[in-house]
Amino acid sequence: MIWNEHHECMDRQRLTELQGERLRDMVERIYFNVPFYRAKLQEMGIEPGDIRSLEDLKKLPFTTKQDLRDNYPFGLFAVPQHDVVRLHASSGTTGKSTVVGYTHNDILMWSEVVARSLTMAGITRNDIIQVAYGYGLFTGGLGVHYGAEKIGASVIPISGGNTKKQLQLLEDFGSTAIACTPSYAAYLGEAIAEEKLDRSKIKLKAGIFGAEPWTEEMRTQIQQLLGLKAYDIYGLSEVIGPGVSMECACQRGMHIFEDHFIPEIIDPETCEVLPYGTLGELVFTTVTKEAMPLMRYRTRDLTRLHIDKCDCGRTLVRMEKCVGRSDDMLIIRGVNVFPSQVESVLLEMSETRPHYLLVVDRENNLDTLEIQVEVEEQFFSDEVKELEGLRKRISGNLTSLLGLHASVRLVEPGTIERSMGKAQRVVDKRKLK
Amino acid sequence: MIIRQLSVFLENRAGRLTELTGILADNDINISAFSIADTTDFGILRVITGKPELAEKVLKEHGFAVKITDVIGIVMRNKPGALHHALQILTDNGISIEYMYAFASGDDRATAVIRTDAPKKAIEVLQLHEMELLQAGDVYQI
Mean pLDDT value across residues A255-275 = 95
Residues recorded for chain B: 142
Q: Does A349 touch chain B (CB under 8 A)?
A: no
Mean pLDDT value across residues A375-401 = 85
Residues A44 and A82 sit within 8 Å (Cβ to Cβ): no
pTM for the whole structure: 0.67
Check CB contact under 8 Å for A380 and B65.
yes
Q: What 3-state DSSP class applies to A181?
A: coil
Check CB contact under 8 Å for B63 and A415.
yes
In chain A, % helix, strand, coil (3-state, to 5) comes to 35, 25, 40
Question: What confidence score (pLDDT) does residue A297 get?
Answer: 97
Residues of B with Cβ-Cβ distance to A413 under 8 angstroms? 63, 65
pLDDT in tens, B97-139: 999 998 877 678 888 999 998 999 999 999 999 999 988 777 7
pLDDT greater than 80 at residue A302: yes
Count of structural domains within chain A = 2
Give the ipTM: 0.79
Considering chain A, what percentage of its residues have pLDDT values greater than 70?
96
Question: What confidence score (pLDDT) does residue A378 get?
Answer: 73
Mean pLDDT value across residues A292-309 = 95
- Average pLDDT of every residue of chain A: 90
Please write down the long-range contacts of A64-72, taking CB distance under 8 Å and 24 or more positions apart: A64/A297, A64/A298, A65/A98, A65/A238, A65/A298, A65/A300, A67/A36, A68/A98, A68/A99, A68/A238, A69/A95, A69/A96, A69/A98, A71/A36, A72/A96, A72/A97, A72/A98, A72/A99
Mean pLDDT value across residues A389-404 = 87
For residues A323 and A350, state if they share a domain: no
Q: What is the CATH number of domain B2-68?
A: 3.30.2130.10
Check CB contact under 8 Å for A410 and B42.
yes
pLDDT greater than 70 at residue A94: no
CA distance B68 to chain A (A): 9
Question: What confidence score (pLDDT) does residue A382 get?
Answer: 84
For residues A295 and A362, state if they share a domain: no
* CATH fold for domain B70-139: VC0802-like (3.30.2130)
For residues A1 and A38, state if they share a domain: yes
| DSSP-assigned states of every residue in A351-373 | TEEEEEEEEEEEETTEEEEEEEE
Check CB contact under 8 Å for A380 and B37.
no
> Among residues A327, A355, A388, which one ends one of the domains?
A327
- Chain A, nearest residue to B47 by Cα: A382
For residues A251 and A105, state if they share a domain: yes
Does any domain span residue A360?
A: yes
For residues A198 and A304, state if they share a domain: yes
Mean pLDDT value across residues B17-35 = 93
Check CB contact under 8 Å for A410 and B7.
no
Report the Cα–Cα distance between both ends of chain B, in Å, rounded.
Answer: 16
> Among residues A272, A294, A327, which one ends one of the domains?
A327
CA distance A377 to chain B (A): 5
For residues A334 and A315, state if they share a domain: no
pLDDT greater than 60 at residue A433: no
Whether the link from the prior residue into A73 is cis, omega within 30° of 0, is: yes
Q: Which residues pair with A306 in a beta bridge?
A: A318
pLDDT in tens, A19-37: 999 999 999 999 999 999 9
Does any domain span residue A285?
A: yes
Residues of B with Cβ-Cβ distance to A383 under 8 angstroms? 44, 98-99
Question: What confidence score (pLDDT) does residue B21 get?
Answer: 94
pLDDT in tens, A418-430: 655 556 788 888 7
Amino acid residing at A103: T
Q: What 3-state DSSP class applies to A83?
A: helix
Mean pLDDT value across residues A187-193 = 87
Question: What confidence score (pLDDT) does residue A181 get?
Answer: 87
Q: Which of A99-108, A372-381, B63-72 has the lowest mean pLDDT?
A: A372-381
For residues A219 and A149, state if they share a domain: yes
**Domain definitions of chain B by residue range:** 2-68, 70-139
Domain containing residue A381: CATH number: 3.30.300.30
Residues of B with Cβ-Cβ distance to A409 under 8 angstroms? 41
Residues A85 and A103 sit within 8 Å (Cβ to Cβ): yes
Residues of B with Cβ-Cβ distance to A381 under 8 angstroms? 67
| DSSP-assigned states of every residue in A214-235 | --HHHHHHHHHHHTSEEEEEEE
Mean pLDDT value across residues A61-81 = 94
For residues A319 and A382, state if they share a domain: no
Check CB contact under 8 Å for A384 and B44.
yes
Amino acid residing at A189: G
- More reliable by pLDDT, A403 or A100: A100
Nearest to B44 among A377, A382, A414 (CB): A382
What strands lie across the sheet with A177-180, from one edge to the other? Answer: A154-156, A128-131, A177-180, A206-209, A229-236, A241-247, A254-256, A318-319, A305-306
For residues A259 and A343, state if they share a domain: no
> Among residues A327, A351, A382, which one ends one of the domains?
A327
pLDDT greater than 50 at residue A337: yes
Domain containing residue A186: CATH number: 3.40.50.12780
- More reliable by pLDDT, A286 or A98: A286
Nearest to B41 among A381, A383, A410 (CB): A410
Q: Does A411 touch chain B (CB under 8 A)?
A: yes
Question: What confidence score (pLDDT) does residue A289 get?
Answer: 98
For residues A208 and A103, state if they share a domain: yes
Does any domain span residue A433?
A: no
Question: What confidence score (pLDDT) does residue A160 get?
Answer: 87
Does any domain span residue A44?
A: yes
Considering chain B, what percentage of its residues have pLDDT values greater than 70?
96
Whether B2-68 and B70-139 share one fold: the answer is yes
Nearest to B39 among A381, A384, A411 (CB): A384
Question: What confidence score (pLDDT) does residue A330 get?
Answer: 79
CA distance A287 to A406: 44
Question: What confidence score (pLDDT) does residue A232 get?
Answer: 96
Question: What confidence score (pLDDT) does residue A431 get?
Answer: 62
Question: What confidence score (pLDDT) does residue A92 get?
Answer: 55
For residues A344 and A300, state if they share a domain: no
Check CB contact under 8 Å for A377 and B65.
yes
Q: Which residues pair with A284 in a beta bridge?
A: A263, A297
For residues A137 and A153, state if they share a domain: yes
pLDDT greater than 60 at residue A95: no
What count of other Cβ atoms lies within 10 Å of the Cβ of residue A149? 16
Residues of A with Cβ-Cβ distance to B42 under 8 angstroms? 387, 410-411
Instruction: Give me the domain span that covers residue A175.
Output: 1-327
Of A119, A129, A226, A123, whose CA–CA distance to A178 is shortest?
A129
CB < 8 Å from B in window 208-247 of A:
none
CA distance A11 to A316: 9
Of A401, A369, A413, A406, whose CA–CA distance to A391 is shortest?
A406
Nearest to A380 among B9, B39, B99 (CB): B9
Residues recorded for chain A: 433
Question: What confidence score (pLDDT) does residue A96 get?
Answer: 67
Q: Which of B35, B42, B45, B113 to mutate to test the interface with A (most CBs of A within 10 A)?
A: B42
Q: How many CB pairs under 8 A join A and B?
A: 47
CA distance A194 to B128: 46
- Chain B, nearest residue to A408 by Cα: B41
Q: Does A392 touch chain B (CB under 8 A)?
A: no
